[in-house]
Structures are given as structure tokens and as C-alpha cells.
Amino acid sequence: MARCPNGHEQRLGPKCRICGSDLSYRGSIEALRILPKVDPDYGKVSVLTVESPRLLVKAGYVGEIVSGQSDLKSATSFQAAAIRGGSWLDFQRKYLQDLRRWMALVGMDKSADKFLVIDTTKPISVVAISALPKLEHTALIAVVADEESTPMEQNTSYVALSLALKKGLPVIALSESFEREMLFFTEDRGFATGGDAMSRLLAPLLEAADDLMDLLERDLKLGIKMHCLSAIMAGSKSVFGAVTNALTAQSYNVSLGTKPEEYQTVHSLVFSTRETEAEFEKSFGAFRNRKFKGALSAELRFHETTSPLYDLLTICGLKGDSPLQTIAGGYEAIIKSVPELTVDGAS
Amino acid sequence: MASPGGTVSASAGGSRNYKVVSASLRGKTYSDLVLLIDEARFEVELKQWIGRRKKGQATLTRFPVDPTAEVLLDGPLLRFSELSVTLDSPSKAAEIAEILRRPAREREAARLLSEAEKALLECVGTREEAMAFLAKMKVDPREALIGAESLWAVGDTKEPLEAVYSSYSGRLAVSLEKMTSSFAASETKLGPAVVDRLYALGYAMGAVQDALFEGDSDMVEELSALREMGVVTTAQELRSGMSLEQLVQRAHPVIVGFATARPSG
């Protein structure tokens, strides 16, 4: 506020509107020093893909971490120049600080729910998980090495997964073979394979981020960190008949080579029209009683859509860390040759 | 025109006449003269009364005054260029000195004003940069922070936004300090009224920045304040990114008027 010699105060203008005297701004010019505070909106859901195909999902933020020809940084991408013959440790040494900085700049910790869609067979995945600060409401949807992967991939995947579990992050694991062979066919969009199939699979899952995180965090409280996934995309009555059939059919196409006795929790997310809700509820109850009687927790979350085709995604919480055990052989084989490539070497 | 016996100066059509007691020009001394000063052309003419009844005048010299020429005043005696004149009073000599010194004073005022305006622009410019960053933070925080990464020092433990904010605040404090120092340094010569105007302009420009940041589309008060300072503009112009330089340029003539109207101290 400016003040005239007669003590009248006024916000702006050179002359006092009351007495006409000159106003002095000498005392109020310090106001220029004040900058307004901002409360930026980072969006509710952040998705960061790591060496994964670009996803067409609805989220407040979708960013990527990739290795490419050169070092490049933008608000949506962190590209590390490929290191010829480099292991995850070479990437870790070169990029860990940079990536931590980038994650802070893009506010990885700012959204309510954070998902990393990550290919843990790729060297940069270890750096990405190392750089990730310890955050709440953060989960991994991870492609993991399996029996068909090379020992080097198994070592990388083992280290990345171990780091994630150490940080207490829940993981939905998809084996490399499952990801490679993923194929969806829908009447409206035809075949989807590779990155398209991954996008199709993750789009509904991430759009139900609130429910998904809730279910994963409930399992986390039960000590369950590792999950497998099965899905039916664009299902319909004409293909599957009763919903029970769809639930049974999807149990034959699981993202990890796990055995049903390893399942401790089972949760289904359904995206369908309102009138099908009751049938899904009823069928899920029957399916659970038949196949998952001993499950510690089982829940169905329904999301209304207008499409006559439904998406059904089921997440099963696993006892222990079976995906790690599957690839432990390759991990050990590599550290016999390169002792530095251990989980401790990445911590 | 001054009468032979008159002692008053007169101004007609931008010319002033002064009775001169004696004058010295190129080694010769004259008496009973009239000095004419054409303010518009900045010319002087020294005339001498001629004839027994002193009804006529003969021009002794007429020349444009070098605006950089030194003007020396010693009581009723005045020296400038190659002319030395003694007037009938020290006040008349001082009045002429004031007129002759005006271009130099105007030049000095223009220089000081230009420096003060530069300091003002630097200050509001720094603030503008900070406000642009903060406005971008509201729309696309990630893009804003990536763009301002250089302001977040490696190893700084503060959050990036906090670090960038601190950096801008620090820079703003420095440029504000520079601006007030510049104003203070020039105040003796420019006068408090001019400096008050500069402060008012700076404050109004800050208010415009705040209004734009808050999304105040009308800016009624800000526009009215600017208009009172000689800056005619519209909300549309301000919203579409009218430069700070343009605002200061529009205010400049009014402030110059204040600065040059003031007699030298």
C-alpha cells in the first residue's frame, strides 16, 4: 500500500484520491520482492514406463525411462545413451544420480498413486528402481525374466526385483514369455500384440488405479508383495457364455508359471455394463469358493462402462517370491563370473 | 524588446531580452547592450544601442550556444563561449545561467533517468522471469521444473521447486536492492518527485504482474494507475505480453518532463 503525506493509504496510482497529494511507494516497494506461492497439480496418477512400450493410458502423467542413442532429458522422457556391452552396474554407475535428479524434477513423489511399468530384464531397470525414492502408494507392473531368459537377463531381473521388494514395493509380475506371447483380439480393434497388447492390458488396470493400489496395499499388509495377473480383454457372452466360464478361462492364462496353491489372495477388476454387475459378483463368489477357498482375501471391484464387451483382470497375491526363485540360477551363474553383479552391489 | 533604460527581462515568442551593463568579446569591451536569448533555437545575440538617442541597435555577435559549453557565474558576471557579460544584477545573471545550463542539465537528467529506468527494468524483468516460471508451474509443473533445472544446484538438498523459488527470490532481492540504490544515487539530481514516480511505476508494474498471474482479466485499477503515469494501454495488450520495455517507454516522456522541469540544485 502506498501512503500520502496525510496518511491516506491507496493500493495504486501516483496521486492520493482523497487529498490529491503525491503518494509514496518507497515504503511499499519491498512488496515486489514477494513472489506468489504455487500449489502445482501433478495429477492423481503417475505412470513411468521403463524400457517398455509407450502406453496409451489415461493418467495425470506418463513418462518414460529408456536407453537410446544419446543422453536426452525432457519432462516426459529420460533417455540414457546405450553402453556397449554394459551391464546394469555400468548404467547404475553412470546414471543413478542423474536419474534421481530427473525423478525429483518430474515430481515422481507428487502424485497420489505411482506405477512403474518396467521391463526388469533391461539394465536400466535396476537404475530406475534404485533411483526411485521410498514412496507410499507406489507399485510395479514388471516384466520379469523366466526360464527362457538368458542368465544375464535373469541376473538383471533378479537384482531389479530384489531391490523393489527391499523397498517394500508391491509387484505385479508378467513373465517375459507371457509378455512376448501376449495377444488380444477384439471385434472392434482386431489383433493387438507386443506393445499394443501391453497398452490394451494396462489401460483399464491403470484407469482403476485407485482400486488397484488399494488391493495391492491390502495384500502388502498381509505380507504379500508379489502378484501374478490374468486377463480377458473384450470378453462377451457370445464367446464365453456365463461369466463363470470367463473366470475359469482366464485362470489358464496367467502371467507367471505359478501353481494355484501359491495363491494367497485373489482380486478381480471388472469393466462392464451396469446390468452385468450382479452376475459378476455371483460368479466371482462361486469361482473363489471353488478354486481359492483358502484365500486370505478375495474381492471383486466393478467399474461401469458403456461397452457391450467386458474386460476382466484378476490379480493373485503369491506366497513368497517364486519369480525370484525361478531365475535364481541365472543370477548365481552370472555372479560367479562377475562377482560385482549382486543385489548388494546395486544397493 | 528591453527599453534602453529598462532592467527587466522579457520573454516574447521564445526570446528573452536582458539589459547588459558591459560585455567583453574577442578582447573588446562594450557597454550599454542588450542580450537576446532565443530559447527555441538556443541562440544568443548581443546588440548595442546606437545613435545619440539610442533608438537603433547594431548586432555585435549572434551565435548558437554550444550546449556543452561551460557557463561560469560570478555575481552579475556571466561567462560562456567567447562572451563575457555583466548584468545589472546577480539574479539576472543567474537566470541566464539557468537557461544556458538547461541542455546540459537535461542531458544529465536523461542519463540518470536512463540508468534508473534500466535498474527498474532489470528488477521487474527478474520478477517477470520468476512469475513466468510460477505461472508455468501452475499449468505444467514438470515442464516448468525441467526448464528451470539450472537453478537447482547439484547437491542442493531442497526440493526442486523450493530451490528454484529460493533462487528467483534471491535474484529478485539483489535486483531490487540495485534498483533502490540506483534511485537513491540519482535522487539528488533528478529530485524526489521523479524518483517517487519511478517507485510508483515499478510498483504498478509489479501489480500488473500479480494481476496477470492471478488471472485478473480486467486489471481496472492497474490500468488506471498506469494511465495516471502517462502509460496508456489496455488489458488486452498487457495480457498478450506487452513488454516491460514498452511500458517504461510509454511512461518515459512524463518522467522526463518531471526531471527537466526541475531547476538544478
Please name the residue of chain A whose CA is at the shortest distance from the CA of residue B200.
A25
Is residue A40 in a domain?
A: no
Nearest-angstrom CA–CA distance, B95 and B9: 9
Contacts of B203 in chain A (CB under 8 A): 2, 12, 25, 28-29, 31-32
Q: Which of A12, A32, A33 sits opposite B225 (nearest CB)?
A: A12
Whether residues A11 and A57 share a domain: the answer is: no
Q: What is the DSSP letter of A254?
A: B
* Chain A residues touching residue B154 (CB < 8 angstroms): 101
A151 falls within a domain? yes
The predicted model scores a pTM of 0.83
Cβ-defined contact of A73 to B228 (cutoff 8 Å): no
Task: For residues A87 and A8, state if they share a domain.
Answer: no
Q: Which of A15, A30, A74 sits opposite B146 (nearest CB)?
A: A74
DSSP secondary structure, A306-341, as one string:
S-SSEEEEEEEEESTTHHHHHHHHHHHHHHHH-TT-
Q: Do A12 and B207 touch (CB under 8 A)?
A: yes
- Give the confidence band of B263 by pLDDT, cuts at 50, 70, 90: low
Q: Are residues A235 and A109 in the same domain?
A: yes
The pLDDT score that the predictor gives to residue B49 is 87
CB–CB contact B210 A36 (8 Å): yes
Q: Looking at this predicted complex, what is its ipTM? A: 0.88
Is the dihedral angle over the CA atoms A18, A21, A22, A24 positive or is it negative?
A: negative
Question: How distant is the Cα of B257 from the closest Cα of chain A, in angstroms?
Answer: 15
Q: Which of the residue ranges A211-225, A239-253, B5-19, B28-42 has the most confident prediction, judged by mean pLDDT?
A: A211-225
Q: Which residue has the cell 503525491?
A: A22
The answer to whether residues A11 and A109 belong to one domain is: no
Chain A: nearest CA to B104, how far in angstroms?
28
**Chain B CB within 8 Å of residue A73 CB:** yes
Assigned domain for A242 exists: yes
B140 contact residues in A (CB cutoff 8 A): 75
Which chain A residue shows the shortest CA-CA distance from B124?
Answer: A32
Chain B CB within 8 Å of residue A31 CB? yes
pLDDT at position B162 over 70: yes
In a domain, A342, yes or no: no
Question: Do residues A14 and A63 share a domain?
Answer: no
Q: Tell me the C-alpha distance between A56 and A41, whole Å.
A: 21
- Asked if residue A51 and residue A26 are part of one domain, the reply reads no
Instruction: Kindly report, residue by residue over A91-140, the tens digit of the pLDDT.
Output: 999 999 999 999 999 999 999 999 999 999 999 999 999 999 888 999 99
Rounded CA gap, A272 and A220, in Å?
28
Task: For residues B172 and B166, give the distance between their C-alpha atoms in angstroms, rounded to a whole number.
Answer: 10
Q: How many contacts, defined by CB atoms under 8 Å, are there between A and B? A: 110
Per residue in A179-212, pLDDT (tens digit) is 888 888 777 778 888 878 888 888 889 989 999 9
Surface-to-core class of residue B256, CB atoms within 10 Å of its CB (0-12 exposed, 13-18 middle, 19+ buried): middle
Partner residue opposite B203 with nearest CB, options A25, A35, A63:
A25
Q: Is the pLDDT of residue A345 over 50?
A: yes
**Residue indicated by cell numbers 569591451:** B29
Q: Tell me the domains of chain B and their CATH numbers.
A: 10-88 (2.30.29), 102-261 (no CATH)
Contact residues, chain B, for A33 at CB < 8 Å: 169, 172-173, 176
Same domain, A142 and A247: yes
Put simply, the answer to whether A30 touches B176 (Cβ < 8 Å) is yes
Residue from A35, A78, A98, A108 to probe the interface with B (highest B Cβ count within 10 Å):
A35
Same domain, A13 and A124: no
Least confidently predicted of A174-183, B3-12, B98-107: B3-12
Highest mean pLDDT among A5-9, A145-149, B106-110: A145-149
The DSSP annotation for A81-136 comes to EP-TT--HHHHHHHHHHHHHHHHHHTTTTTSSEEEEEEETTSHHHHHHHHHS---S
Which chain B positions have a beta carbon within 8 Å of A99's beta carbon? none
How far is the CA of B41 from the CAs of B1, B13, B38, B45, B106, in angstroms? Answer: 18, 11, 6, 11, 16
Q: How far is it, in rounded angstroms, from Cα A328 to Cα A225? A: 18
b vs e for A243-273, b when ≥16 Cβ sit within 10 Å of the residue's Cβ? bbebbeebbeebbbebeeeebbbbbbbbbbe
Same domain, A295 and A325: yes
Structural domain including A65 reads 45-331
Residues 95-154 of A with CB under 8 A from B: 101, 104-107, 110
| CB-CB neighbours of B170 under 10 Å | 11
* A339, part of any domain: no
Nearest CA in chain B to A61: B142
Number of domains in chain A: 2
- Whether residue A109 lies inside any domain: the answer is yes
Using the Cβ of A28 and the Cβ atoms of chain B, whether some distance falls under 8 Å is answered with yes
Q: Is residue A345 part of a domain?
A: no
Of A11, A25, A30, nearest to B221 by CB-CB distance is A11
Contact A29 B180 (CB under 8 A): yes
Residues A141 and A213 in one domain: yes
Shared-domain flag, residues A153 and A179: yes
Instruction: Please write the tens of the pLDDT for every residue from B219-231.
Output: 888 898 888 888 8
Chosen for mutation from A17, A24, A32 (greatest number of chain B CBs closer than 10 Å) is: A32
User: Does A340 reside within a domain?
Assistant: no
Residue in B134, B141, B199 nearest the CB of A42: B141
Query: What confidence tens digit (pLDDT) does each residue in A257-297 have?
Result: 777 788 899 999 999 999 999 999 999 999 888 888 888 99
- What local confidence, expressed as pLDDT, does residue B9 receive? 52
The answer to whether A73 contacts B146, with C-beta atoms less than 8 Å apart, is yes
User: Would the pLDDT of B264 be above 50?
Assistant: no
Residues of A in Cβ contact (< 8 Å) with B149: 105
| CATH number of the structural domain spanning residue A260 | 3.40.50.1440
Helix (H, G, I), strand (E, B) or coil at A56: coil
